[in-house]
């Protein structure tokens, strides 16, 4: 079968073709930014309670990554603020429990 599912649903209207193209570009950009967010989040979650200075540094990097994602329109401001707050609470609890 030479026809794939995407070839069967080929758009014929120019504006629809453009929407498909721009949606694919947006999806690629959003996936890249979300990957950066998750990469920055991982060290915050796995931070050692003994090293508070390094933990604070990773939290700052994570917050910066979230703020950049908001600026690019990938996530909403309240979502970023909520994630920063939860990460800070988690770090505070980890350093207090040492």
The DSSP secondary-structure symbol of 74 reads S
Q: Report the predicted TM-score, pTM, of the whole model to 2 decimal places.
A: 0.81
Give the start-to-end residue ranges of the domains of the chain.
13-96
Of the CATH numbers 1.10.150.80, 1.20.58.110, 1.10.230.10, 3.10.580.10, which one belongs to the domain with range 13-96?
Answer: 1.20.58.110
How many angstroms separate the CA atoms of 44 and 30, rounded?
22
How many angstroms separate the CA atoms of 18 and 45, rounded?
40
Structure-model confidence comparison of residues 69 and 45, the more confident one: 69
> What percentage of the chain has pLDDT greater than the value 90?
65
Structure-model confidence comparison of residues 76 and 51, the more confident one: 76
**Is 91 within 8 Å of 44 (Cβ atoms)?**
yes
Phi-psi region of 92 (alpha: psi -120 to 50; beta: other; left: phi over 0): alpha
């Amino acid at each position: 079968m030479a026809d794939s599912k995407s070839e069967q649903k080929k758009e014929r209207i120019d504006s629809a073709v453009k929407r498909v193209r721009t949606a694919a570009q947006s999806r690629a950009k959003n996936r890249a930014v979300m990957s950066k967010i998750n990469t920055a989040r991982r060290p915050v979650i796995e931070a050692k309670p003994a090293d508070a200075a390094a933990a604070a540094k990773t939290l700052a990097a994570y917050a910066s990554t979230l703020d950049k994602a908001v600026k690019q329109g990938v996530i909403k401001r309240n979502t970023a603020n909520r994630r920063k707050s939860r990460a800070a609470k988690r770090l505070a609890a980890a350093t207090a429990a040492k």
